């Protein structure tokens, strides 16, 4: 696999340069920007695999920038903030962020988070390459596409990974902590409601009735499970 490309966007030159140098020493191709305008220009030219993005920029809102970038490519976004309010993190995740670091943070932790995110680009095994088909819903792990009634459903990278994981184990109930470990690929320290946020975003895109979801079901007091309509019909036949 080619070396991953990372774009760092932060208006604080000390933090920006520190991250740039640290990740550059890990062998990544690096570019950096101090504001939203130059970040978008570099984004178009550089086509990064991951953007390390500060929430507060002099000319842009990091949440909006995250959405703008992800509407153009399947880029991963790791957001940086000086805010400690959990509501800010929930907002970031709901708008497509793949992970979140609160300043101040250690470079070691940054390295772990970056590595975990980029692992989602790993080469999948033959079994993992198989399309999952459930009635009107098709999940293609090779193209990383989800089709509903033959129309492509736009999912963020993390939403795709979460849906694909749940659908790969139909009928099995997963606790939030288990999903974080399996999909985020490390022990996330923080509010496990981030899982609820992502499930909610996926439901809006694939469920006929979000108030009564039929595909991703909540198991009260435990977590979530994917219920296959194909499996239900085959049991009844």
Domain total for the chain? 2
- Say if residue 96 is in the same domain as residue 156: no
- Say if residue 107 is in the same domain as residue 76: yes
Q: Are 163 and 139 in contact (CB under 8 A)?
A: yes
Q: Which residues, listed in sequence order, are joined to residue 50 by a DSSP beta bridge?
A: 6, 76
Q: Are 216 and 224 in contact (CB under 8 A)?
A: yes
What domain range includes position 194? 132-236
- Say if residue 71 is in the same domain as residue 150: no
Is the pLDDT confidence value at 136 over 50? yes
* pLDDT per residue as tens digits for the range 54-68: 988 999 988 889 988
% of the chain surpassing 90 pLDDT? 43
Average pLDDT over residues 114-130: 67
Whether residue 127 lies inside any domain: the answer is no
Q: Which residue would you say has higher pLDDT here, 184 or 52?
A: 52
The distance from CA 3 to its chain's CA centroid, rounded to whole angstroms, is 20
Whether residue 126 lies inside any domain: the answer is no
Query: pTM here?
Result: 0.61
């Amino acid at each position: 696999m080619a070396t991953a490309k990372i774009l760092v966007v932060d208006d604080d030159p000390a933090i920006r340069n520190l991250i740039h140098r640290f990740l550059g020493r890990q062998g990544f191709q690096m570019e950096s920007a101090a504001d939203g305008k130059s970040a978008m220009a570099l984004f178009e030219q550089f086509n990064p695999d991951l953007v390390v993005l500060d929430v507060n920029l002099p000319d842009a809102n990091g949440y909006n920038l995250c959405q703008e970038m992800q509407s153009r490519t399947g880029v991963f976004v790791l957001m940086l903030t000086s805010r400690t309010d959990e509501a800010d993190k929930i907002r970031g995740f709901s708008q497509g962020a793949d992970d979140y670091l609160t300043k101040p943070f250690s470079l070691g932790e940054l390295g772990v988070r970056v590595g975990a995110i980029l692992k989602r680009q790993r080469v999948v095994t033959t079994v993992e390459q198989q399309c999952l088909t459930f009635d009107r819903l098709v999940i293609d792990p090779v193209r990383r596409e989800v089709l509903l009634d033959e129309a492509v459903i736009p999912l963020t990278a993390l939403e795709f990974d979460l849906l694909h994981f749940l659908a790969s184990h139909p009928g099995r109930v997963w606790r939030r902590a288990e999903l974080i470990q399996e999909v985020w690929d490390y022990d996330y320290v923080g509010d496990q409601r981030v899982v609820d946020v992502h499930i909610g975003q996926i439901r809006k895109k694939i469920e006929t009735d979000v108030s009564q979801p039929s595909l991703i079901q909540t198991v009260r007091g435990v977590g979530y499970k994917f219920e296959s309509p194909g499996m239900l019909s085959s049991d009844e036949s």
